[in-house]
Each structure stands twice: as C-alpha cells, then as structure tokens.
Amino acid sequence: MKELTKAEEQVMQILWQIKEGVVKDVLAKMPDPKPAYNTVSTVVRVMETKGFLGHKAFGNTHVYHPLITEADYKKFVFDGMMKTWFNNSVKDLVTYLAKEGKLDITDLAELILLSQKAKK
C-alpha cells in the first residue's frame, strides 16, 4: 500500500463517509472553494489505478467505492509514522506528545488504564 496524496486522502475520507458515490457526490461533500469536476474525476481514476477504489458501471456512470477500509489505511499511516519519526517507540511518541502539550496527566492516566486492561 502507498500513502495517499492530500487530494486523494480528501476523496477517500468522503467515500469512507458516504460508502459509494459518483464524482458529483464526492464534489458536493468537498469544502469551498471546490476543485473542478475534471480534477476530482482525475483524482478518482488515479486512485482506482492505484487500487484504492473500485467502481460499478451503470451505462456511462461509474459509482465508486473504497477497496480499503479506513481502519486499514489509518494503521498503515500510523505504522509508517511510528517507524519514520519515532523509531517504533511508543515511549518516544508519548514523550513527543507531552513536550508538545498534547498530552496531560489525565490522558496519561487513561493510557495507563488502557494498557493494564490490554495486558489482562
């Protein structure tokens, strides 16, 4: 699996949400300023070539759907981030989050409880 571009990720987020749709459905869910129809259509076709999307044809209309789950992609991206930026070390990740002010003592206590439950 490859990482999605920013535009591809935006399309995937929408298709995970709506389950399936034509290019106009995807475009309708995008924030303003919306890209051109042809731009979204091109992104969708590239994603299909890469194996992220499939489609059902109804005449000239293609209804696209995700071929990968959001959970699988999230795991792929997270595992890559952990390897690239944190040497696969949860301790390094937690240290980073604490230093950046993204993790407080309440969060840490919850993580400890989750860890204890997972071990049981």
SS3 content of the chain, % helix, strand, coil (to 5): 65, 10, 25
Two tokens, residue 45: 């076709």
pLDDT above 90 for 26: yes
With contact defined as beta carbons under 8 Å apart, do 107 and 115 qualify? no
* Closest to 50 (Cα-Cα) out of 64, 39, 34, 29: 64
- Give the start-to-end residue ranges of the domains of the chain: 6-66, 70-119
Distance separating alpha carbons of residues 18 and 77, to the nearest angstrom: 22
Residue 15 CB partners (closer than 8 Å, separation 6+): 21, 26, 53, 64, 65, 66
Domain with residues 6-66, CATH architecture: Orthogonal Bundle (1.10)
pTM of the model: 0.83
Residues 36-55 have pLDDT tens digits of 999 999 999 999 999 999 99
Res. 1 pLDDT band, cuts 50 70 90: confident
Q: How far is CA 54 from the centre of its chain?
A: 17
